[in-house]
Amino acid sequence: MIASTQRRPARGNRQRERTRTALISAGQALFATRPVESVTVDDIVDAAEVAKGSFYNHFNDKDAFAATIYELVQGDVEFHIFSANRDVVDAPTRIARALCTVLQYARAHPERLMAMLSMAERRTTSASPLNAGVSADIQDGLKQQRLSGVDLETGVLTVVTMVNATVRHAMSGETATPPAALAAAMAATLLRALGVDPRDAEMLGRDAAAAVFEDE
């Protein structure tokens, strides 16, 4: 009796986790192609193939659900950028590698990344948690005198806008440019927009793409 009683919560927990995973996967797929405002809870549970009541066992409302997805993907993306920039001090190099890493992440997890970008479109300020790493890199670049012609606000907006545009273009299927070449070119363009010397920007863009897309 004791062993049987102990097994029941484990089975229940596994089912609960499967339901939550199904909901989040469905939400990522929906938010990747539609604004959060146009997606209903009914849409989510239908896509997840779970009962509507199950949604409210996990999330208070759709906003809480969207915030959970955003935070999960944000954390995963930040981990990949952190890994790519481990031991890198130079701010322009960090920024170039971040762009390349996000593009590489989008190729591996397209729905996940596109859902985050869709929800991030209103989070373009330096105060946004998503942009904490970008803000730090812009501030460091200005202190290092490696960036010029921008302040914190315009620097963050430039990075966020260009990364978003690069990923959307790459995922649209409308370009024949290989991902590594596109990443190198866009990273160089981004650095030039942040005031990095054009020759230096081109070299850093190539190096960043080579480091992130090392097997391509």
Residue 77 to residues 86, 112, 189, Cα–Cα distance (Å): 14, 10, 22
pLDDT, residue 166, reads: 93
Residue 188 Cα to chain centre, angstroms: 20
C-alpha distances in Å from residue 198, one per residue of 12, 75, 154, 169, 192: 58, 32, 19, 23, 6
Residue 212 near residue 104 (C-beta atoms within 8 A): yes
Per the listing, tokens 């990522």 go with 28
Angle at 79 (CA atoms; ends 137, 66), nearest 5 degrees = 100
pLDDT value, residue 5? 46
Q: What is the DSSP letter of 43?
A: H
Q: Could you give the residue ranges of the DSSP H alpha helices within the chain? A: 2-33, 41-48, 52-58, 62-84, 91-108, 110-120, 132-143, 152-171, 179-193, 198-212
CA distance 121 to 164: 9
Domains of the chain (ranges; CATH) run 2-59 (1.10.10.60), 68-212 (1.10.357.10)
pLDDT tens-place values along the chain, 216 residues long: 344 444 455 666 888 889 999 999 999 999 988 888 899 999 999 999 999 999 999 999 999 999 899 888 888 999 999 999 999 999 999 999 999 999 999 999 998 888 888 776 655 555 565 678 899 999 999 999 999 999 999 999 999 899 989 998 998 888 889 999 999 999 999 999 999 999 999 999 999 999 999 866
Closest CA to 183 of 106, 117, 130, 125: 106
Nearest alpha carbon to residue 135 among 179, 95, 169 = 95
Sign of CA dihedral 104, 122, 34, 42: positive
Residue 3, pLDDT score: 45
CA neighbor of 26 nearest in space, from 74, 58, 4, 2:
58
Angle among Cα 19, 25, 29 to the nearest 5 degrees reads 145
- Give the pLDDT confidence score for residue 27 in this predicted structure: 94
Tell how far CA 184 is from the center of its chain: 18
